[in-house]
Amino acid sequence: MSELVTLTIDGVEIKAEPGTSVLRAALENGIYIPHLCDHPDVSSVGICRVCIIEIEGRRPTVSCKTPVEEGMVVTTSNEELEKTRKINLELLVLNHDYNCQSCAKNSQCKLQELTRYIGLDEERIKAMREPELPHEIDDSNPYYLRDLNKCVLCGICVRTCEEIQGDGCIDFAFRGIKTKISVLGDKPIAESTCVTCGECVTRCPVGALVPRREMEPTYEVETICPFCGCGCAIAVGARGGKLVSSRAVPGSPASGGTLCVKGRFGLSFVNSPERLTKPLIRKDGELVEASWEEAISYVAQKLGQYKGDQFAAIASAKCTTEDNYVMQKFTRAVMETNNIDHCARL
């Protein structure tokens, strides 16, 4: 194990692993440095320029791209740094739709966090803002919305798509003030190679990417995604007796803290009024409700008429591992056949 690096930030001596950025070292030790484009899951690029710091004997630089060094003395705030940060923040906010009350990211937005910390001159912003917002909301995807009027060009979605998902669906397009995040050909997201994993949505620091129907849950419960055999850990949120959200559990050994479209957006079937809650038995050509005892007796009677290759079973990914084990044991030991399959073969 490498020896820890000792450095001083704002007069506080801290220790960090070699290779750690000054920003991460500060945040891990309770010292706040404002930042927007940095995310611990993807590489650092230093786009937003609000995490600037001053290192003794050097020019001001971005803390997200600067690795810690032994004996380094860092200043995170002085008059010059605050002035530069404020200008950089103004450039980010100028063409941003900051109707915060109706935004899905209200109170969870990194831009709001920066605005509270750095402060803005409202009159200067009004004087420089364009009269109209230039982008229409892209609602082509059935699970999330893209509002480029709220995009701050941090690039977290681009790096997420490339480095975590490996899709490379989106990138920076055009130049200057016309720069935006786009798919190939500047088409709607639904016409791209996007696989709707939602990884970019969950990491977007502002309201540019938001789920369509997700609500803030009253409480969450950790469980396992029911859709396939991978065993990804998820935290499902409940509110008013309904499932309203699903997110990946960080550090899950099965998924690495990521989810696919099914695990993140496909659990709405839980709330469907068409879900069966009682057994149904066909009588006189119609399905009628029955008790569990009646249904089990009926199935047992019918199964007694079959043996060996006359019988086949299909197990379900929405059942637990234990349930599927019992199913295959029943098929082989009781029904005396190996005719069993499972829908979770990827």
Condensed to tens digits (0 to 9), the pLDDT of residues 202-221 reads 999 999 999 998 789 999 99
Q: Where in the chain is the domain with CATH 3.10.20.740?
A: 5-128
Under CATH, which number does the domain 213-275 receive? 2.20.25.90
CA atoms of 169 and 187, how far apart (whole Å):
11
Ranges assigned E (strand) in 161-260: 170-173, 180-183, 209-211, 219-224, 233-239, 242-248
Question: For the segment 298-312, what is each residue's pLDDT rounded down to a tens digit?
Answer: 999 988 888 899 999
The mean pLDDT of 54-80, rounded to a whole number, is: 96
Residues contacting residue 330 through CB under 8 Å, at least 6 positions apart: 313
Q: Quickly name the fold that domain 5-128 has.
A: Ubiquitin-like (UB roll) (3.10.20)
- At residue 33, the pLDDT reads 97
Helices 79-93, 110-118: crossing angle, 10 deg rounding: 140
Q: Considering the chain, tell me which residue range(s) the CATH 2.20.25.90 domain(s) occupy.
A: 213-275
Q: How confident is the model at residue 145 (pLDDT cuts 50, 70, 90)?
A: very high
Write down the pTM of the prediction.
Answer: 0.85
Is it the case that residue 35 has pLDDT exceeding 50? yes
Token pair listed for 17: 């692993």
Amino acid 1: pLDDT: 57
Distances (CA, A) of 191 to 22, 137, 140, 170, 185: 40, 15, 8, 12, 10
